[in-house]
Structure 1
Amino acid sequence: MSFHASLGNLSLKQLRAFACVAESRSFTTAAALLNLSQSAVSLLVRELESELGLKLLDRTTRSVRMTEAGAELHPVATRVLQDLGAAVAGSRELADRRRGRVRFACSPLQSALLVPRIIGAFKEHHPHITMVLRDTPGGEIVDLVAKGEVDLAVGVLPVDTAFIHAELLQNDDLLLIYPRSYGWSPRHRATWKDLTDHPFIALGEHNSTRYLVDYHAAQVGVRLTPACEVAFVWTAIGLVEAGQGVSVIPGHARTIVQKFPEVGMLPFESRKIRRPIALLRHRHRTLSPAAAAFAAFLQERFPRNHREY
């Protein structure tokens, strides 16, 4: 005899009452354990027997014993109740943020400079939440959020992206980096002419900084012809250090540039060009409690301007 096909029509209260009576061999004891009246426990067991069309318990004035059918149902009912208990306990842990998983994406630069400290501080408060960090080129971050491959991301504020909800975290600026061998004064004002008069090392065409540079260059009628294109900011800095030209990179890379004594840096069009950095999530997906906790933590800890880190 198998009960698996018919369990779907039964109530958990009925199964719990039957299991408790079967294990205690007493309706009185079961009623006390379940905090129900004895008549309520008896009714639940009778309803279960009626639903199955089987006698599950033999009752006498002194004892209660399982029938053959009851003995077969008992381990099935026990397993269902245990699995449910485990699921409820797990759900409560998720709701209380005692465990969970957060999938988070940001640029390789942010992953190296800022995010490790924020994740470290978050893990101190939530040690059993697992963080999955996708250090992804900026041009791919919005797609990861839109496809549901990550819960949250930090990236440049998208334009006209129907599936993305964005909350501004910071307005970053741009830096012109150049070889110090050029001999420019600290008072030198970086202009578009610096990009056209010297070899221009451009970030890749899908990079958000590259998009901003190209867009604003077109707005002022400047045509940029890169001498070299690279995928990562570190590579651009290295080429500049080698005297191969100039580049425009995100302002929050200042701390990296400072480690290269042969590379100078100047604000670039800072009054006109800003990189709006935002916390991104899918507009139509509910964040898990763990992801919601990390989102709130990130918003609180994220620097409001580049000079904070």
Structure 2
Amino acid sequence: MSFHASLGNLSLKQLRAFVCVAESRSFTSAATLLNLSQSAVSLLVRELESELGLKLLDRTTRSVRMTEAGAELHPVAARVLQDLGAAIAGSRELADRRRGRVRFACSPLQSSLLVPRLIGTFKARYPHITIVLRDTPGGEIIDLVASGEVDLALGVLPADTPFVAAEPLLTDDLLLIHPRSYGWGPRRRPTWKDIAAHPFIALGEHNSTRYLVDYHAAQVGVRLTPACEVAFVWTAIGMVDAGLGLSLIPGHARPIVQKFADVAMQPFEPQRIKRPIALMRHRQRTLSPAAEAFADFLRENFPRHDRRTPAARP
């Protein structure tokens, strides 16, 4: 049996009234359940029958029974109402930030040092929101945001782009690390010429810290020729620990450097060179409620101040 009415002419109220009457076998009971008058329920069912061109219910003074057409329509209408109810409930959960999924990108260093505790605190507040963490080299983060592959990202504040909006969260510094065998005490302030006089371990060309280092070195007429070039900050620290040279790395790597007894560290030109770390998102895309919740959380809880470098160990 086929139904000839246009779906656009049917209403959810009509379907709900029909299903309620069919299941309760009573217009009176259906009216009570729907919080409507009996006449309003009868009108909704008659309108549905008129739209379909079919008799759906046989009414007597004692009972209400579905016709053959009504029995065929009932499971379909009930499923539509059930699916719609589930969809509405799910949408409300999303709107209320009770569940969702956030795709978030940041550098491997931030992924290991800054972000895990933040995610842990966030998950305690929003246990059913999933965080998909992309620990990605800094030079690739902006592309992930611009392409829409991630909702939010943390990275060095970029130049203006047509697709990426950036909100500064933290100002980091550059950290000079060198073998303790150099004998540079905490009161000595190495210069660019000091750095150029020693083997320099550089981060990769697309690393934001590398760009910052090269730019400021060029401003004072110093060209740094890397003795070694590495992709990750951990590798640079390990090479310094092996006595292969010195390096300039992000300041928030201090907790890692502290684990290496043979590596000394100190801020490098902290008053002049800063690394602005920003929260980034796509300019033309609306964040989901879950992503908006995570963005708000980062604004409230991201550490705002640089940590001071501990005094050098003797």
Same-fold call, TM > 0.5? Answer: yes
Give the structure 2 partner of residue 208 of structure 1: 208
Amino acid at match of 1:224: L
**Does residue 164 of structure 1 match 2:128?**
no
**Does residue 288 of structure 1 match 2:305?**
no
Map 1:1-309 to 2 at 5 A.
1-3=1-3, 6-307=6-307
Distance 2:255 2:149 in 1: 30
Which TM-score applies when normalising by structure 2?
Answer: 0.94
The answer to whether the 8 Å contact 1:190/1:266 transfers is: no
CA gap of 1:161–1:183, structure 2 versus 1, over 3 A, is same
Deviations 1:47-106 (A, max 9, x none): 111111111111222221111111000000000000011111111111111111111111
Distance 2:298 2:160 in 1: 24
Gaps of 5+ in 1: none
Distance 2:49 2:5 in 1: 15
Classify the secondary structure of the residue corresponding to 2:307.
helix
Amino acid at match of 1:116: P
Distance 1:221 1:35 in 2: 81
Amino acid at match of 2:22: A
Distance 2:5 2:110 in 1: 53
Amino acid at match of 1:274: K
Classify the secondary structure of the residue corresponding to 2:43.
helix
Distance 1:273 1:8 in 2: 63
Distance 1:175 1:93 in 2: 44
Gaps of 5+ in 2: 310-314
Q: Which moved more, 1:1-10 or 1:173-182?
A: 1-10
Deviations 1:228-262 (A, max 9, x none): 11000000000011111111100011111111111
Instruction: Give % identity.
Output: 83
The answer to whether the 8 Å contact 2:139/2:206 transfers is: yes
Shift in Å, 1:163: 1.4
Classify the secondary structure of the residue corresponding to 1:227.
strand
Distance 1:202 1:84 in 2: 57
Q: Which moved more, 1:248-257 or 1:182-191?
A: 182-191
Distance 1:163 1:111 in 2: 24
The answer to whether the 8 Å contact 1:190/1:267 transfers is: no
Q: How many residues align?
A: 309
Distance 2:42 2:90 in 1: 31
Which TM-score applies when normalising by structure 1?
Answer: 0.96
Classify the secondary structure of the residue corresponding to 1:252.
helix
Distance 1:50 1:79 in 2: 22
- C-alpha RMSD of the superposition: 1.6
Amino acid at match of 2:63: S
Amino acid at match of 2:20: C
Shift in Å, 1:223: 1.5
The answer to whether the 8 Å contact 1:178/1:246 transfers is: yes
